[in-house]
Structures are given as structure tokens and as C-alpha cells.
């Protein structure tokens, strides 16, 4: 609470800071060198950013603990005040301060040098790809059993031992030495680029350099579809899977193609199509039980009832009621207490004819009250999305993709 009072006090009191705005975060990193959660196209100068920067530079470091959210509340404030109108930014910041550190089950995790943080970006922005922590993921080299190439043994050993960069360099060397690119070699190149997070480059390689003789090979299409899935290009990934399935009526890759397709439908919240694909997948011996479990899960997803953001906003006339309805119960208690205390403080100051402090606490109160309404609406949407996301996560975990 001390943090939010200090930040908003700087804004409301209108403290004047001479010279240029501070460009350092509390961890000492320059603004331009920190993780880019500022939209440069929308960035604007504001005296408010000076006040928040003053808090970061002079006060944040002596508080004894770090914000559990990413970006931190002060960096979140900097972002929204630089990219939106003053009124919108004030409401967004108030909502964020109420939610800070509460109801953590509704936020994804990210891992940085300070440990795990809870990701919470403004609703108008897109969370950077790969920011979310997903644990270790292992990649394995592809071997063409029909035409094994013994010269690729080193490359495959490097991939299987997680030396993806070294494997990629060896692939490039072999390509330049042979002057030709084989199917097995090229697929392993896509795997390396995928493992290294070079998704756009992997797509570019496929579109421009894949040998025409096997550009429609099921295994290659599968690997490229996996890359498109990482880019959240679900329709494009599904198109690649469909193309591979046409080529693969009875090939060994068919089960994993169906497994990926079922997951892609689920990520688009097309529960019925996903269930139908799992029914096809259940025809393969090793996939019977996982497919049955997935179908049960998807039947539950089809019956899910979502909460109404409009209702959450309406009942937020009682501070915290909308948050409670949205499942954010700790935030609901914080909103009720904060608005109650500020209402009492405003009333007390008016009664004592201390109009300056009454105006200050009144502005705080109005900000948190309106932030409680808009925040409850957004929290209800977050609650609904989280329920769908949990279904997808369970399916993805069982698919081993």
C-alpha cells in the first residue's frame, strides 16, 4: 500500500522535477536497455513519468522487497502514462495497484534474474513471445529411416545433446560443402531454428530454401507447423497439417499430425473439431487412453459457462464486488478496504475543513473507485480466458508436443 500511495501522491501533488526525466529503473538499468515493454510508436513525454521515475530512483530501492509482478507496478505506470491518455492511464494504474501480488493463479509466470514474476501487461498490449516461462523443452533430431545418412551422425548427436547452435553451424557447413540439401538435413535445420527460438527464420528457410522435391514431405510440414504454432499462427499451422495428412494416409507420422491438429483446434477454442480429431487419433493403439481423456476434457469445455464482464462492472458499485465475482477475491478485499479508507479520510478532512487533503484523498478515492469498476470488467475477461487456457494447457501437456 505504501508503494501505491507514494506513486499516486507524486502524480496528484504535481511535484515539479527540473531537467530531463529519469531514464533509470530501480535496478539501475537504462530505460532503453531494459526489456522492451514500451511501445515506441505510442510513447510520449509526460511529467507523470518524471514523478514515477523519481520514485524508482530515490525510494523504490530502500523499500526492502521487489514487486512480484512483471513489469513492476512503477514500470507498468510508466508504460501506460507514456502510451495512453492521462485518465485511462490513471485508471489502469489504480487497478494494477489493487491487484498487485494478489490472486496469482490468474497470471502466467516469467523468470528473470530476480526470480519468478507474474506477467501482467496492459490489456491493450501484446505480451512478448517467449516471455512466459514454460519449463525446459527438449528437441530430438530427425532420422529418415528409409534413407539414413550416416554423415549426419554428428549433427544428430549435437541436437540430441541440446547443442542446437553448434548443430546449426555444422548443418550450414555440410550444406556449403555438399552444395545440396537433403530432406533429413533440412528437417534438422528447421528443428535447430525452432529450438533456438528463430521462428521467423525457420519459416523463411522453408518458404525460400526447402528443396522442391520434398517440400510437401509430411515430416517437414509437421516441423514447420510446430513453428507456426509457436508464433500463434494456428490457421497457417493447421493448413500445413492438413497438407501433410493428405500426403500421409498411412505413414508413421500420422498420429503426431492428428495430435498437433487436435491441439491447434483447441487453441482456437474450437472444442468440437478438436474432439473429432481426438476420436480419429484414438484409432491408434498408443493414443487410445490419452485421446479418451482429452475427449472428456473437451466435453467439459463445451459446457463451460462464462461470467459476464458487464455484470462485474455493474455490481462494482460496491467496491470489490466485481472482483469477487470474477474470482479475484484477494483483490476484492483490497479494493473494499482501500476505497473504504479513502472515503473515510475524505469525509474526515471535509468535516475538519481540511479541504486540501480532502481534495487529495478524494482524487485517490475516485481513481480507485473507477479503477475498481474497469478492473473488475477486465478481471472477469481474464477469468474466462484462464478457464479456456487451463483446458488447452492440459491437452498440450498430454500431447507431449
- The pLDDT tens digits of the residues spanning 290-299 come to 999 999 999 9
Q: Does residue 241 lie in a domain region? A: no
Domain boundary among 197, 231, 265: 231
Which domain covers residue 195, as residue numbers? 135-231
Q: Does residue 220 lie in a domain region? A: yes
Residue of 129, 165, 137, 133 lying closest to 35 (CA atoms): 129
Domain boundary among 190, 212, 231: 231
Asked if 151 and 221 sit in the same domain, the reply is: yes
Asked if 17 and 80 sit in the same domain, the reply is: yes
Name which residue leads in pLDDT, 25 or 156.
Answer: 156
Least confident range from 32-36, 53-57, 274-278, 370-374: namely 32-36
Give the pairing type, strands 69-70 and 115-119.
Answer: parallel
C-alpha 38/C-alpha 122 separation (Å) is 11
- The pLDDT tens digits of the residues spanning 321-377 come to 999 999 999 999 999 999 999 999 999 999 998 998 899 889 889 989 999 999 999
Q: Which three cell numbers stand for residue 78?
A: 510508466
Asked if 9 and 113 sit in the same domain, the reply is: yes
Secondary structure E strands in 83-211: 109-112, 115-119
Grid-cell match 496469482, residue found: 104
Q: Quick count: other Cβ atoms within 10 Å of Cβ 146?
A: 7
C-alpha 49/C-alpha 11 separation (Å) is 9
Cβ neighbours of residue 80 under 8 Å, at least 6 residues apart?
88, 89, 92, 93, 122
Stretch 164-190: mean pLDDT: 88
Question: What is the structure's pLDDT at 183?
Answer: 86
| pTM score, whole prediction | 0.78
Asked if 115 and 219 sit in the same domain, the reply is: no
Residue of 133, 143, 151 lying closest to 183 (CA atoms): 143
Asked if 41 and 102 sit in the same domain, the reply is: yes
Q: Does residue 363 lie in a domain region? A: yes
Q: Does residue 239 lie in a domain region? A: no
- The pLDDT tens digits of the residues spanning 34-48 come to 445 555 555 555 556
Asked if 115 and 7 sit in the same domain, the reply is: yes
CATH assignment of the domain containing 204? 1.25.40
Amino acid at each position: 500500500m505504501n508503494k501505491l500511495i507514494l506513486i499516486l501522491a507524486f502524480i496528484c501533488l504535481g511535484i515539479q522535477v527540473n531537467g530531463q526525466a529519469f531514464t533509470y529503473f530501480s535496478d539501475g538499468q537504462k530505460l532503453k536497455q531494459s526489456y522492451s515493454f514500451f511501445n515506441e510508436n505510442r510513447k510520449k513525454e509526460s511529467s507523470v513519468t518524471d514523478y514515477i521515475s523519481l520514485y524508482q530512483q530515490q525510494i523504490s530501492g530502500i523499500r526492502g522487497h521487489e514487486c512480484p509482478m512483471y513489469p513492476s507496478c512503477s514500470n507498468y505506470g510508466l508504460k501506460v502514462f507514456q502510451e495512453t491518455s492521462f485518465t485511462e492511464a490513471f485508471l489502469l494504474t489504480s487497478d494494477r495497484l489493487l491487484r498487485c501480488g494478489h490472486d496469482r493463479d490468474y497470471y502466467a509466470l516469467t523468470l528473470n534474474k530476480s526470480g519468478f514474476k507474474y506477467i501482467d501487461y496492459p490489456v491493450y498490449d501484446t505480451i512478448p513471445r517467449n516471455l512466459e516461462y514454460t519449463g525446459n523443452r527438449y528437441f530430438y533430431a530427425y532420422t529418415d529411416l528409409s534413407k539414413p545418412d550416416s554423415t549426419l551422425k554428428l549433427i544428430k548427436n549435437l541436437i540430441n545433446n541440446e547443442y542446437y547452435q553448434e548443430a546449426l553451424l555444422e548443418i550450414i557447413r555440410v550444406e556449403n560443402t555438399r552444395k545440396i540439401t537433403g530432406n533429413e538435413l533440412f528437417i534438422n535445420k528447421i528443428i535447430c531454428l525452432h529450438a533456438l527460438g528463430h521462428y521467423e527464420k525457420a519459416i523463411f528457410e522453408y518458404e525460400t530454401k526447402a528443396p522442391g522435391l520434398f517440400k510437401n514431405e509430411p515430416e517437414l510440414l509437421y516441423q514447420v507447423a510446430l513453428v507456426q504454432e509457436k508464433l500463434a499462427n494456428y490457421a497457417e499451422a493447421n493448413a500445413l497439417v492438413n497438407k501433410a495428412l493428405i500426403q500421409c494416409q498411412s505413414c508413421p507420422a500420422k498420429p503426431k499430425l492428428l495430435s498437433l491438429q487436435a491441439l491447434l483446434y483447441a487453441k482456437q477454442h474450437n472444442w468440437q473439431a478438436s474432439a473429432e480429431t481426438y476420436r480419429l487419433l484414438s484409432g491408434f493403439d498408443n493414443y487410445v487412453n490419452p485421446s479418451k481423456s482429452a475427449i472428456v476434457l473437451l466435453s467439459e469445455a463445451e459446457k463451460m459457462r462464462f461470467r459476464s464482464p458487464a455484470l462485474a462492472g455493474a455490481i462494482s458499485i460496491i467496491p470489490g464486488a466485481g472482483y469477487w465475482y470474477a474470482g479475484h477475491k484477494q483483490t476484492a478485499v483490497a479494493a473494499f478496504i482501500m476505497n473504504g479508507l479513502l472515503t473515510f479520510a475524505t469525509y474526515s478532512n471535509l468535516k475538519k475543513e481540511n479541504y486540501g487533503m480532502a481534495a487529495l484523498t478524494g482524487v485517490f478515492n475516485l481513481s480507485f473507485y473507477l479503477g475498481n469498476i474497469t478492473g473488475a470488467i477486465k478481471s472477469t475477461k481474464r477469468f474466462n480466458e484462464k478457464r479456456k487456457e487451463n483446458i488447452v494447457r492440459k491437452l498440450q501437456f498430454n500431447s507431449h508436443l
